[in-house]
Amino acid sequence: MNTASQITLIRQRFERESTGRKLRTTLYLAIRHLILDGALPPGTPLPATRVLADELGFSRSTLVRVYEQLVIEGYLQSRGGASTIVSEAIPAASSEKSGVFELPRPGASLSLRGREIARHANSSRIQGGAFVPGVPDVGLFPFPTWRRLLSKNVRFEQRHLARYSQGGYGPLKVALANYLRASRMMACTPQQILILNGSHQAIDLCARMLCDPGDRVWMEDPGYWGARNVLRANGLSLVPIPVDEEGINPPEVTPGEDPRLMFVSPSSQYPTGVVMSLSRRLRLLEQAEASGAWIIEDDYDNEIRYHPHTIGALFGQSRTQRVLYLGTFSKAMFPGLRLAYLVVPEYLAESFAIGNAELYREGRMIEQAALAEFIDAGHLGAHLKRVRNIYQERRNVLHTAIESRLQGAVRTTGGMAGLHLPYFFETPVNDVALASEALDAGIVFRPLSMYYDDVQHQRTGMVLGFAAVPSEAIDAAAGRLCGIVERHLKAAAR
């Protein structure tokens, strides 16, 4: 290939790569791709930098730096005063491989576990608006106070906060132990608390530290899809257990089919909002003790409650320490914070701290230090008091808007805590198709059916979030949604 042909190839490839990158980066990528594609075979002399710079209208220094980079990375070889050639260490491209490459089909290269995760994915790309469930109104959060606390811990150059930690920031764990004692009637030491990057990491840690592939896990049905996916990804066998008006209804344990884990949300079942009765709590604890199982208590939104009575944590009712308590700040503060905490039995505390450090490495100490002060200074309590009143008003507006239009067609449960209301259809409706049509109209909600693992007992409905929608915008959005629902109800009745 002569010099003119090489310059033409490089110019054409350069024009294809020009997508707003820096000139030198674009030229580097153009030449590298020509080498990898086989358009510039091994041993091919490249144009002299002066000649190529003149032809392309670049400075020679730019070409020299590009060539030097390609030499360092092994794509080119410099022959001293002679020309620079394409490295002979690069395998020659066969005629079958040269030209256009066909990319693998999406998911074709995933592992079995990867395909399972992708197949069961339920997280939404839309995280705002009417009526996305589980999302707080971040506009209500006192960011000036939070920013001041973060700046304070950065400004004082507390270098220990810039290092790894093990288990989390000590003063934050002390603050949480005091907070849980007062708000959840839990007696625990700071050493029993681990600070983690979100509830999914906490669930993953429990699965890795307590279970082996194939172990059985009792899951509430309907229940939290995120927990199902994390546990399924760890190779565990999920057993859906029905939920009724008293919470999870555990069956008698069959010998040889004992669960290793039980995942429950007793204070406000997700998504139904049902509070687990005392008899069910005691029965669950007895079964865990008899079978040697552990219970993961997901207390995802207990801080956002609309009744004056505190519901004690299951953790505090376990005499034999079979419960691991999971809390998060995603609802109480804001989801992007990605800080959760796990309270484990005393005899598991050291092993879990080691496992957490080995599996994930720990940091974000500056945020944890700011959070400790945020709690100790009373800012969290004041924020929660304020948003409870606002969210309760929004819940009431949504409930009135739905009931006034769909009375008799839907039934709701819970509503005493949290950021959403579930509505069950009395007549079966394709809630997935309904959600798709609603999305086209600018309304976002989760189909209730997606929370079920057992299709035989699956119910349809809507899980509607109200926290992030101003009260004055709820009625109009609910009106548009109910109009769509009514059309689907009429179609289902025909």
Note whether residue 99 is domain-resident: no
Is the domain of 228 the same as that of 308?
yes
Is the domain of 255 the same as that of 342?
yes
Residue 365 CA to residue 95 CA, distance in Å, equals 55
Place of tokens 């760890």: 234
Is the domain of 363 the same as that of 441?
no
Residue 434 CA to residue 429 CA, distance in Å, equals 8
Note whether residue 222 is domain-resident: yes
Is the domain of 312 the same as that of 408?
no
Is the domain of 308 the same as that of 387?
no
pLDDT for the residue numbered 98: 47
Note whether residue 487 is domain-resident: yes
Structure-block tokens of residue 391: 């969210």
Note whether residue 96 is domain-resident: no
Domain boundary among 346, 377, 408: 377
- Secondary structure, 3-state, the chain: CCHHHHHHHHHHHHHHHCCCCCHHHHHHHHHHHHHHCCCCCCCCECCCHHHHHHHHCCCHHHHHHHHHHHHHCCCEEECCCCCEEECCCCCCCCCCCCCCCCCCCCCCCCCHHHHHHHHCCCCCCCCCCCECCCCCCHHHCCHHHHHHHHHHHHHCCCHHHHCCCCCCCHHHHHHHHHHHHHHCCCCCCHHHEEEECCHHHHHHHHHHHHCCCCCEEEEEECCCHHHHHHHHHCCCEEEEEEEECCEECCCCCCCCCCCCEEEECCCCCCCCCCCCCHHHHHHHHHHHHHHCCEEEEECCCCCCECCCCCCCCHHHHCCCCCEEEEEECCCCCCHHHCCEEEECCHHHHHHHHHHHHHHHCCCCHHHHHHHHHHHHCCHHHHHHHHHHHHHHHHHHHHHHHHHHHHECCEEECCCCECCEEEEEECCCCCHHHHHHHHHHCCCCCEEHHHHCCCHHHCCCEEEEECCCCCHHHHHHHHHHHHHHHHHHHHHHHC
Is the domain of 394 the same as that of 283?
no
Closest CA to 451 of 426, 477, 474, 423: 423
Q: Which residues pair with 84 in a beta bridge?
A: 78
Is the domain of 148 the same as that of 281?
yes
Residue 392 CA to residue 219 CA, distance in Å, equals 29
Is the domain of 275 the same as that of 164?
yes
Residue 24 CA to residue 39 CA, distance in Å, equals 20
pTM reported for the whole predicted model:
0.78
Note whether residue 105 is domain-resident: no
Residue 440: give its domain's CATH number: 3.90.1150.10
Residue 260: give its domain's CATH number: 3.40.640.10
Domain boundary among 352, 377, 402: 377
Q: How many CB atoms lie within 10 A of CB 410?
A: 22
Is the domain of 177 the same as that of 146?
yes
Closest CA to 350 of 189, 174, 181, 171: 189
Note whether residue 109 is domain-resident: no
213 phi and psi angles, rounded to 5 deg: -50, 135
Residue 13: give its domain's CATH number: 1.10.10.10
Residue 446 CA to residue 222 CA, distance in Å, equals 13
Note whether residue 112 is domain-resident: no
Is the domain of 340 the same as that of 428?
no
Note whether residue 95 is domain-resident: no
pLDDT for the residue numbered 94: 43
Domain boundary among 54, 86, 118: 86
Which residues are CB-neighbours of 124 under 8 A, at least 6 positions away?
A: 132, 444, 446
Total structural domains within the chain: 3
Closest CA to 42 of 73, 83, 77, 80: 77
pLDDT for the residue numbered 160: 66
Residue 84 CA to residue 3 CA, distance in Å, equals 13
Range of the domain at 473: 382-493
Is the domain of 71 the same as that of 164?
no
Do the beta carbons of residue 458 and residue 175 sit within 8 Å?
Answer: no
Query: pLDDT tens per residue, the chain (494 residues)?
Result: 788 888 888 888 888 877 767 888 888 888 998 988 888 889 888 888 888 888 888 888 888 898 888 988 889 988 766 678 888 887 765 434 444 555 566 666 777 777 777 766 665 555 567 788 888 999 999 999 999 998 888 876 666 666 666 678 889 999 999 999 988 888 899 999 999 999 999 999 999 999 999 999 999 999 999 999 999 999 999 999 999 999 999 988 877 889 999 999 999 999 999 999 999 999 999 999 988 999 999 998 888 888 877 788 999 888 889 999 999 998 999 888 889 999 999 999 999 999 999 998 777 888 999 999 999 999 999 999 999 999 999 999 999 999 999 988 999 998 888 999 999 999 888 999 999 999 888 888 899 999 999 988 899 999 999 999 999 999 999 999 999 999 988 887 77
Query: Helix 23-36 and helix 3-17: axis angle, to 10°?
Result: 120
Is the domain of 351 the same as that of 489?
no
pLDDT for the residue numbered 131: 86
Amino acid in position 473? A
**Dihedral, 358, 364, 369, 374 alpha carbons, nearest 10:** -120
